[in-house]
Amino acid sequence: MTFSNIMDSNSYQGDSSQAGVGPLIAARARMLGPASRLFYDRPVHLVRGQGSHLFDADGASFLDAYNNVASVGHGHPHVVDAVSQQLATLNTHTRYLHGGILDYSERLLASMPAEIDQVMYACTGSEANDLALRVAEMYTGASGVIVTADAYHGNTTAVTAISPALGAATTLGKNVRTVPAPDSYRIPRAELAARFAADVAGAVDDLRGAGFGVSALVADTIFSSDGIYPDPSVLKPAVDVVRAAGGVFIADEVQPGFARTGESMWGFTRHHVIPELITMGKPMGNGLPVAAMAARSDVLKPFAVGVPYFNTFAGNAVSMAAAAAVLDVIEGERLLLNAASVGAALRRDLAHVAAGHPRIGDIRGAGLYIGVEVVADPDTKTPDRAGARWLVNALRERRVLLSVCGAAGHVLKIRPPLVFSRSDVDWFCTEFAAVLGDF
Amino acid sequence: MTFSNIMDSNSYQGDSSQAGVGPLIAARARMLGPASRLFYDRPVHLVRGQGSHLFDADGASFLDAYNNVASVGHGHPHVVDAVSQQLATLNTHTRYLHGGILDYSERLLASMPAEIDQVMYACTGSEANDLALRVAEMYTGASGVIVTADAYHGNTTAVTAISPALGAATTLGKNVRTVPAPDSYRIPRAELAARFAADVAGAVDDLRGAGFGVSALVADTIFSSDGIYPDPSVLKPAVDVVRAAGGVFIADEVQPGFARTGESMWGFTRHHVIPELITMGKPMGNGLPVAAMAARSDVLKPFAVGVPYFNTFAGNAVSMAAAAAVLDVIEGERLLLNAASVGAALRRDLAHVAAGHPRIGDIRGAGLYIGVEVVADPDTKTPDRAGARWLVNALRERRVLLSVCGAAGHVLKIRPPLVFSRSDVDWFCTEFAAVLGDF
């Protein structure tokens, strides 16, 4: 199993310093079953959050360097107020008219290229990706899908079938081909884009040979589950290959979207491509289950006309109030700019701290999506899964929360709320320096 | 297309009495595309809800006889407060420990038979059913699924494949067989259960012959999309047949669950069966996207151990606060009892109003889930789709909201919030009598 973008632990066997959480862990195992996996060797019991900080039951504060759902900050009062007020007023579905969904759609589509002119709502990124696959298939008349080798696109049956990161327990669809992610640490930069396009071309040939045709290339434009590869040159040539074969590009913006990368609201903008379909989720409602698929109307049409798709909770008045409040905060607090400047500061300071630590092989990212590659040897660049895991748990002991990604689970994934501040950077780097001292 | 449990209208062409909503409808068509379908010939623009009443932009009040999501009432202050407070405090995912999910799971499982001992969370009923299909398949080692002929179980790719109500635009899975719903209006009651079991046995033989084996019978225990058939005798013999073939029973409680039927918290209890898997959604969070799959732990185990399933928003602290508040209200306001008594009163009064109207062929239901069969002729029992549609639109003009179900879209679906009162019954019957006068 390569599902390494979780740092799970079901192996907790009791620990006197965790006396308070033992019963919680036991209750989870009993009632939630083996599917319920916790972060960290010593799980964290959280009771409160504010901005980029979380607090446990003892009042100890944690630095949140991981949660991209509470993207405008934990407990943001503007979001809380918007949701609370709308919930007290009206919360019903989209078979009635309501202004909220229209006002929001206007703003969302205005943040995208003019070609992207329609939007359908869902509750989760998984649902949005599941929908996008069906829309692409009806538009192209083909079923072949290309994803990166450690992609993760969600948890429904159909989306699991395009999520190789889930590992051996789930089987990729017969109509799915994988290509290596554009690993900017191991492949010379000058070769990255051509190699990625060539791999996609190989997958195209294979899908055509097998009779599936080419429906879509689906990619998270920061390749987060694969290991975070921010190079903005790689996608366009590959997308050209897919389009020449009749397929479309589905940009999975669940991770890079909503200002995360610091350069633009959407990750695909960095790559200078305009997708046919754009899916989004996690940060969209700052924790409320809100997701969407934006589309070119001509691409959407065959599905939308033919299939009576309805999603009960999607686009309801409260979801739209939450989503609108998130846009308000991104704009009002200039979080795109903050992601760019604080992200750059964090990468710079991390590089400073890591100097002289050869097992920190690479520090890369865009905005507040940062990967730190942990290797056994900087010459061979051998992934060090155990080392990454040790660092994550050591940081947790110092109350700094993050996790890992990459095929070998060897890349530290730093992805804090977008309100992360310069003082948070200092806090992070102080603790990172301390754990590197013991590494 | 037989997707008749919606009363959609994309045909609105402008109407001087709808001057205010014309721009909203145009904006929907432009930005949400053809998938966006509205209820009623003259769509309703809602701005506020309270209890079982909804209000439009002009302040006119509507009687809500349809929304089973806002099941404890629109804008219920206890739910609003619980969500607002939790949202301001903490809202993060289940890889950290949190008491909310454990307290709620304890209460939820306590409402079920002891055999049902574990629960996994999702955001929508579709996700819960999608998950249940995978769990059943891993447990049974078979893939064949049996559903009723006009079942609707959700909108993901996998669940669409077991939702014949979606009609010709979506293809049922090769591994899916349908059986006629137990139509208590057209089949003599004494034959209902045996005939349903025999149909299921036929589907079992067919699935085995085709090499799929039998994974699951999936049924909504009130057969809502099929036309609302409340007879409690039908499921047990059919479930016995499925179990003898190695399959499991998945009770889709999205519609009948959470006290809706007035007899018990769960629809399956009425049928005296204990499912292996139980899915739930819509009313669970009174409008917040909260869903779950409860399970026998031995059935869940192969999936839960093998597949690293994770659902970002599912079971988060706010979802659980909403769900717990819903249980509080169901218990505190005795809504199970209310559903039973008010539902019985509504059926009785409807029967009184409908007497002498031969095109009202049958009034049936359990608790506050009531179907009114509209027929062209009471002797032939020919479904009258146009008549049902006329009644729904006529009631909408009198500001009473409901919709239809059934293969021919000929059954009025009355499914109000569980706080529906005796005076709401009077309101409903007064308006129903008025429209019948013109019918």
Q: The CATH number of the domain where A14 resides is what? A: 3.90.1150.10
Answer whether B248's CB lies under 8 Å from B139's CB.
yes
Same domain, A216 and A126: yes
The pLDDT of residue B167: 85
Alpha-helix residue ranges (DSSP H) falling in A210-244? 235-244
Question: Residue A280 has which token pair?
Answer: 């989004």
Q: Do B32 and A105 touch (CB under 8 A)?
A: yes
In a domain, B369, yes or no: yes
Question: Residue B228 has which token pair?
Answer: 């609302």
Among candidate residues B154, B94, B163, the one with its CA nearest the CA of residue B130: B154
Answer whether A102's CB lies under 8 Å from B24's CB.
yes
Radius of gyration of chain B (CA): 21
Same domain, B138 and B160: yes
Q: What is the pLDDT of residues A175-231, one digit of tens each?
A: 999 999 999 999 999 999 999 999 999 999 999 999 999 999 999 999 999 999 999
Write down the mean pLDDT value for chain A: 95
Residues of chain B found within 8 Å of residue A37, distances taken between Cβ atoms:
95, 308, 310
HSE, CB side, 13 Å, CA atoms: give it for residue A152. 25
Q: What b/e sequence results for B212-238 when a residue is b if at least 16 CB atoms lie within 10 Å of its CB, and e otherwise?
A: bbbbbbbbbbbbbbbbbbbbbbbbbbb
Q: What is the pLDDT of residues A274-286, one digit of tens each?
A: 999 999 999 999 9
The pLDDT of residue A3: 42
In a domain, B421, yes or no: yes
Same domain, B90 and B55: no
The pLDDT of residue A168: 77
pLDDT, block means (10 residues), chain B with 439 residues? 42 51 95 95 97 95 98 98 98 96 98 98 98 98 98 97 87 95 96 98 98 98 97 96 98 98 97 98 98 98 95 97 98 98 98 97 98 97 98 98 96 98 98 97
The pLDDT of residue A10: 42
Same domain, B404 and B272: no
Same domain, A210 and A102: yes
Instruction: Read off the CATH number of the domain in which A223 is found.
Output: 3.40.640.10
Answer whether A411's CB lies under 8 Å from A388's CB.
yes
DSSP B282: G
In a domain, B2, yes or no: no
**Which of B307, B332, B357 finishes a domain?**
B332
Answer whether B124's CB lies under 8 Å from A313's CB.
yes
The pLDDT of residue B168: 77
For residue A248, what are the domain limits? Answer: 77-332
End-to-end CA distance of chain A: 26
Nearest to B102 among A28, A158, A306 (CB): A28
Q: What is the pLDDT of residues A36-62, one digit of tens each?
A: 999 999 999 999 999 999 999 899 999
In a domain, A148, yes or no: yes
The pLDDT of residue B5: 40
ipTM of the complex: 0.95
In a domain, A217, yes or no: yes
Q: How far is B174 from chain A (nearest CA, A)?
A: 15
In a domain, A3, yes or no: no
Residue A402: pLDDT above 70?
yes
Same domain, A239 and A125: yes
Nearest to A127 among B30, B124, B166 (CB): B124
Q: What is the pLDDT of residues A85-134, one digit of tens each?
A: 999 999 999 999 999 999 999 999 999 999 999 999 999 999 999 999 99
Same domain, A167 and A104: yes
Q: How far is A254 from chain B (nearest CA, A)?
A: 11
Beta bridge partners of B8: B39
Residues of chain A found within 8 Å of residue B43, distances taken between Cβ atoms:
96-97
The pLDDT of residue A167: 85
Same domain, A340 and A325: no
**Which of A306, A332, A358 finishes a domain?**
A332
**Which of A297, A332, A367 finishes a domain?**
A332
Residue A170: pLDDT above 80?
no
Same domain, B88 and B171: yes
Q: CA separation (Å) from B40 to B54, B391, B393, B405?
A: 16, 11, 6, 14
B2: CB partners within 8 A, 6+ apart: B150, B164, B165, B167, B168, B407, B408, B409
The pLDDT of residue B2: 41
The pLDDT of residue B310: 96
Q: What is the C-alpha separation between A114 and A105, in angstroms, rounded?
A: 13
Q: How far is B106 from chain A (nearest CA, A)?
A: 8
Model pTM score: 0.96
Q: How far is B71 from chain A (nearest CA, A)?
A: 11
Nearest to A312 among B8, B44, B69 (CB): B69
The pLDDT of residue A18: 58
Q: Do B49 and A91 touch (CB under 8 A)?
A: yes
Q: What is the pLDDT of residues A68-79, one digit of tens each?
A: 999 999 999 999
In a domain, B212, yes or no: yes
Q: What is the C-alpha separation between A254 and A278, in angstroms, rounded?
A: 9
Alpha-helix residue ranges (DSSP H) falling in A152-285? 157-160, 189-209, 235-244, 267-270
Same domain, B100 and B233: yes
Nearest to A91 among B287, B305, B312 (CB): B287
| Mean pLDDT, range A226-255, rounded to an integer | 97
Residues of chain B found within 8 Å of residue A162, distances taken between Cβ atoms:
none
The pLDDT of residue A14: 44
Nearest to A307 among B98, B130, B169 (CB): B169
In a domain, A149, yes or no: yes
Q: Do A98 and B311 touch (CB under 8 A)?
A: no
Same domain, A153 and A276: yes
Residues of chain B found within 8 Å of residue A133, distances taken between Cβ atoms:
157
The pLDDT of residue B196: 98
| Total count of domains within chain A | 2
Q: Do A289 and B313 touch (CB under 8 A)?
A: yes
Same domain, B274 and B313: yes
Q: CA separation (Å) from A36 to A28, A47, A224, A289, B75?
A: 7, 19, 23, 19, 32
